Structure 1
């Protein structure tokens, strides 16, 4: 049975799914309904929302030391082969997961101690878009061996107006097991590069 996570809650992936090696991290969202276009449509630039999910691989000092340790739409596969981004969804249209990232925990190099899952709105300032205009946003973890959902964190209904970037969750090593923390910390940035500076 899936765990519905609260902000700041931590779970042990090893305990929830003993023998877990492969994870699917899914991100989904919808754009808030625009009633008849008009002011709201003009405010958003009349364009689709393009949310970009990325994974930052941090060392034991919680630092990003190599740009190749960022998996995103411009680098879909980590050099270790442990993390694979399934590709960029430019609109958020469709049911279920809009972007998917596959993580093979057994192949993550020992030098990497934490995976940080972040999302940002592409060209947010140019398009005048923020997370206050997004609804039904979620991040979920699925056991890759049996497709059972382990945990879900719903982001909707929270005050993310004016926020254009977000730290969704962390998966980290703790002693001999992997754990997950739900974060949902929003901030205002103009692209992934500004997020990376927070960890450099």
Structure 2
């Protein structure tokens, strides 16, 4: 049974999915309604999902530890981004990231799952304008959804980036926390600087 996460809520992945080894983080959103009707030239919303891998000191020590549309696979093979969706068209997940937990290098203790709007400031776009956005975790051993977190809402006004959640090591097990922290950023590189 899926857990509908609230901001700040933490769950034990071992407890919720005892045999979990491979998980999929799926992100979905609906195309924002364009102002001005049929003839509007407003660009689609392009949300980019990505993972920042942090060490035991909560630091990003290598740019290759950012998994996103221009670096689709971690060097360890533990994390794979399945590609960029530029519009949000279609049902279900628009972007997916696969994590093979046993392959995550010991030097990494936290995987931050984030999303930002590509060229948000140039396009005058913010997260409060995105419809029906969500993030979900799925156990790939049985394709069962473990947890889901809804992202849409007015609390994301004037924000274009969001820490969705984190999967982190605690003693000998993996846990997950819904973060829901929104902020303004110029892009993935700007966000990554916060962890250097």
In structure 1, how many angstroms separate the alpha carbons of the residues matched to 2:34 and 2:73? Answer: 36
- 2:13 aligns with 13
1:56 has 2:84 as partner: no
Count of aligned positions: 196
Which consecutive segments of 4 or more residues in structure 1 shift more than 3 A? none
* Counterpart selection for 1:113 from 109, 116, 119: 109
Once the two structures are superposed, what CA deviation does each residue of 1:48-95 show, in whole Å capped at 9, x if it has no partner?
111000000000000000000010000000000000000000000000
TM-score (normalizing by structure 2): 0.96
In structure 1, how many angstroms separate the alpha carbons of the residues matched to 2:179 and 2:37? Answer: 33
TM-score (normalizing by structure 1): 0.94
In structure 1, how many angstroms separate the alpha carbons of the residues matched to 2:109 and 2:58? Answer: 8
Structure 2 contact 2–148 (Cα < 8 Å) conserved: yes
The unaligned stretches of length 5 or more in structure 2 are none
- 1:30 aligns with 30
* Counterpart selection for 1:123 from 100, 111, 119: 119
1:101 has 2:100 as partner: no
SS in 2 for 1:198: helix
Please state how far the C-alpha of 1:158 moved relative to its aligned partner.
Answer: 4.2
In structure 2, relative to structure 1, the CA distance for the partners of 1:157 and 1:125 (3 Å cut) is closer
- 2:3 aligns with 3
The unaligned stretches of length 5 or more in structure 1 are none
Could you say what the CA RMSD is over the residues aligned between the two structures, in angstroms? 1.4
Greater Cα offset, 61-70 or 23-32: 23-32
Structure 1 contact 27–97 (Cα < 8 Å) conserved: yes
Please state how far the C-alpha of 1:135 moved relative to its aligned partner.
Answer: 1.2
In structure 1, how many angstroms separate the alpha carbons of the residues matched to 2:33 and 2:115? Answer: 21
In structure 1, how many angstroms separate the alpha carbons of the residues matched to 2:190 and 2:116? Answer: 10
